[in-house]
Structure 1
Amino acid sequence: MKTVVIGSGSWGTALAQVLADNKEKVIIYGIEKSEIDDINLNHENSKYFEGVELNPNLKATDDITVVKDADIVLLAVPTFAIEGICLQIDPYLKNNIIVVNVSKGFHPETSERMSEVIRRCISKEHLSSVVSLIGPSHAEEVVIRLLTTIDAVSLKEEDAQVIQRTFSNNYLRIYTGDDEIGSELGVAIKNVMAIASGILSGLGYQDNTRAALITRGLQEMIRYGVFFGGKQQTFMGLTGIGDLIVTCTSIHSRNFEAGYQIGKENDVTNFLKYNKKTVEGVRTAKIVHKVAKENNIDMPICEEVYQILFEGKEPKTCANDLMLRELKKEF
């Protein structure tokens, strides 16, 4: 089987290397010539992984027609780019392919989950199924082959099992799942919680506060996910509490890093003015705010993050307001 990884960034490179390590046929498609040359000539992607030597069999290209004979296409691009890249590759597809998505979030205009966007934009005759390969994982650790466990989630079990077998090895273990709604909502909303966790850390709060944030944040994820048809037990797994923990506590998390800067300055202005990185939780906070309001879903942490990012509310004030909410039972 041939896999084309769309995206020469950190996660695309790390997952492509997994396949190269597994002796699978794989190639990366990217648009940055410097990254492609670095992979092909130096066996590195130094923009993202300074000093890390990649599998020498890993190759990259800027020719999009490379997808024409693919069996699996893995999309490792930001959520806002998923629609465009699907429409771009669809005319070149010949096989009935599995599309693997690793992006975590929503369409910026329609609020669709990524699997919904892919099914809308890839012709039915070209698409076997969508598999979401998601869970608690940072590319910086996978690329140096540290032990990691994630989920392959799909409405088509046999395709999830194909991805499970294709990507699993002695440092990356894949479980399968079928709760597409719960899993995709979990890994999206946890990015908002990671921004909140970073903000609290930047403000000087420590372990007690982070434990409370993660626990109460999980309840918001469950409340939102179950409302839209997700299974509560999903949020106890890798795409729920697992991804929430790693993103709320890791220096590798862009969302945590963004929140930390905002909290340290007690102001969002400089982050919004100077940030050049993809921080998915920012867009997700806006969408969750809108959808939660429309459906009367109580999401207090997400709401405070939204107020900081889009209404200019002072982070310290948000932390105080959360603590002074009406007292009630935990469950």
Structure 2
Amino acid sequence: MGGKITIIGSGAWGTAMAKVLAEKEKEVVLWCLEEAAAAEINTQHRNTRFLPGVELPPHLRGVTDVVKAAEGAEFLILASPSLYLLDTVKKILPVHSIREGETAIAVITKGFLPSPKGPRLILETLEDYLPGFYRQSLVYIAGPSHAEEVARGKITGLIAASENPKNSIRFRDLLRSGRLLVFSSFDVRGVQVAAAAKNVIAIAFGMLDALKTAPPESAHPLGTMFGDGTESLLLAAGLNEIQTLGRAMGATHPETFTSISGVGDLDVTCRSVFGRNRRFGREIIEKNILKPFSCLDELLARIGEIGYLPEGVAAAKYVKILSEKHKLKMPISLGLYHILNRETEPDEFLKEFLHDLA
């Protein structure tokens, strides 16, 4: 496996993945949307906007031409945010090595994608646009991971899920190192649902955590009722919702939700200080960050004003639609949707949620 590897998307996770692969003496190209980001990677060997404090291998190349970046790649990993993923993929469809199915493609983006038929999983959506070679051959990579830790060599576990066992193993072997443990799975749908829906739960978790840890002078009366056990209660109930949605959307292995791609990913997303969705939930309480937005759609349209991208915002909208489509009871996810849509206040939601559990 000495061929070219391309990462599409120079955010924190894409950059961390590129660093890990470049450290294995691979030829790695990292596509950047902005010229300044590519120039910084090539001259200073850093990506200070998305991965500050991390030095990148000197032979890792940043480029801004997405077609040239993808052309001739043996492996291509899509890391663009879900809001922009499909538009990015459409740009690389003319690439010869993709038209001929010569490039193995994996996705590390988390979320759902919109379609005329409603929200869909990422891989099934991409299969409608990519050449037929890629049907049931794409690989989805997820697990309890944060770019900031992976880039610093912290031991991390990932799942490489595909309906094509050979491709799952190829990406498993490509990524695996002494500190990055990668396991294969055939439950492509279950792993994708877990990766997307956990971000919704993490926003709710962040709100609860902010109320729980508020200083006495600004503490909300409800916060005095919350402790570590309350957070575990929310996490466990959230996992049940994720599993409920996963089964409805075709998950094939129950253990997906009790493994690292399910409970593992949910736990780290809710509890880690690196979690953007947890941070967003906390800032809903601490900074009233939703105040400038009248509804969820306006929040999505102006999401750049937040300064970072909490993927759970879009996922909350799509999970609501999916839960209604499949007639599922998902009170945490639905409650968070109502908060983001400015229909209810966080303390009202949490009070009602805990009351319903009693």
For normalisation by structure 2, the TM-score amounts to 0.87
Instruction: State the one-letter code of the partner of 1:221.
Output: I
CA-to-aligned-CA distance 1:231-265 (integer Å, 9 cap, x gap): 22110111100100000001111100000011235
Q: Does 1:280 align with 2:286?
A: no
Q: Which residue of 2 aligns with 1:103?
A: 109
Runs of 5+ in structure 2 lacking a partner?
213-225, 294-298
Contact preservation (8 Å) 1:67, 1:93: no
Kindly provide the CA deviation profile for residues 136-178 of structure 1, in whole angstroms up to 9, marking residues without a partner as x: 1100011111111111011101001000111111111110101
Give the fraction of aligned pairs with identical amino acids, expressed as a percent: 31
Amino acid in the other structure paired with 2:93: D
**Where does residue 320 of structure 2 map in the other structure?**
289
- Are 1:142 and 2:145 counterparts? no
Offset of residue 280 of structure 1: 1.0
- Partner in structure 2 of residue 68 of structure 1: 71
Alignment of 1:198-217 (within 5 A): 198-204=206-212, 205-217=226-238
The answer to whether the aligner puts 1:172 opposite 2:189 as a matched pair is no
Please give the secondary structure, in 2, of the residue aligned with 1:319. helix
Structure 2 match to 1:222 = 243
Number of the residue aligned with 1:120: 128
The answer to whether the 8 Å contact 1:186/1:235 transfers is yes
Matches within 5 A, 1:309-324: 309-324=340-355
Aligned equivalents of 1:93, 1:196: Cα separation in 2: 44
- Secondary structure of the structure 2 residue equivalent to 1:304: helix
- Residue number in structure 2 paired with 1:82: 85
Out of 318, 328, 338, which is 1:307 matched to? 338
SS in 1 for 2:138: strand
Counterpart of 2:250 in 1: which secondary structure?
A: coil
Counterpart Cα distance in 2 of 1:302 and 1:290: 11
3-state DSSP of counterpart to 1:48: coil
Separation of aligned partners in 1, 2:285 and 2:132? 46
Check whether the contact 1:70–1:93 (CA below 8 A) recurs between aligned residues. Answer: no
Following superposition, which runs of at least 4 residues in structure 1 exceed 4 angstroms of deviation? 125-128, 270-274
Cα displacement string for residues 12-47 of structure 1 (whole angstroms, at most 9, x for unaligned residues): 111011111112221111121111111100111111
The CA distance in 2 between the partners of 1:50 and 1:293, in whole Å, is 41
List runs of 5+ in structure 1 lacking aligned partners: none
Whether the 8 Å contact between 1:266 and 1:316 is mirrored in structure 2 is no
Using the alignment, how far apart are the partners of 2:237 and 2:178 within structure 1?
34
Amino acid at match of 2:272: S
